[in-house]
Amino acid sequence: VTSGSGFTTPNTLTVNSNNNAAAIINGGSNGGGNIGSSSGYFNTIFAKATTAQYADLAEMYCADDAYSPGTVVEFGGEQEVTSASKGEKVIGVVSTNPAYLMNKDLTGDHVVAVALKGRVPVKVTGKIKKGDRLVSAGNGLARAGTRTEINTWNVIGRSLENKDTLDAGTVEAVVKLNS
């Protein structure tokens, strides 16, 4: 439908005469599409608030291998990050679905989204209690840290659930790193 010098589709999208989007209206129901695309994107979005379905802040890094979600990674190796050993070089956990992804166009042989903060599944070994501080166990796994060993530099985050077996598994955890 043409309206004046612009194009209008009722209850959907209004475009002004300069071909700039003036308003996007959902017509009284939930939107079912995307705003923009990888080839036709918006530069800056101004908003009062946003929400996300997922729960972590992640950044893309070149990795030594194609690590699966939940793997604890550290700075080092041949690339920027590698599977974490025991120590204080941990940067984060490979994300499953980041709520916010930085540096998304990074390229390399193995590029992974590393959760730097927020709620993610973490690969662990040993028994874990809800609230335990997690430290690197080596081989890309975390474990519950003991009171005598935890410090500002080696805590990956805190477990949100219990794990009652000694074998490797996964727990939901809040990643919160100090640098």
Cα distances (Å, whole numbers) of residue 74 to 88, 94, 104, 160, 179: 8, 10, 19, 22, 12
So what's the pLDDT on residue 52?
87
The whole-number mean pLDDT for each consecutive block of 10 residues of the chain, a chain of 179 residues, reads 51 52 56 65 75 92 98 96 91 95 96 97 98 96 94 91 98 88
Structure tokens at 171: 């727990």
What is the C-alpha separation between 129 and 133, in angstroms, rounded?
A: 9
**42-65, pLDDT tens digit by residue?**
777 777 788 888 899 999 999 999
Structure tokens at 33: 């599409």
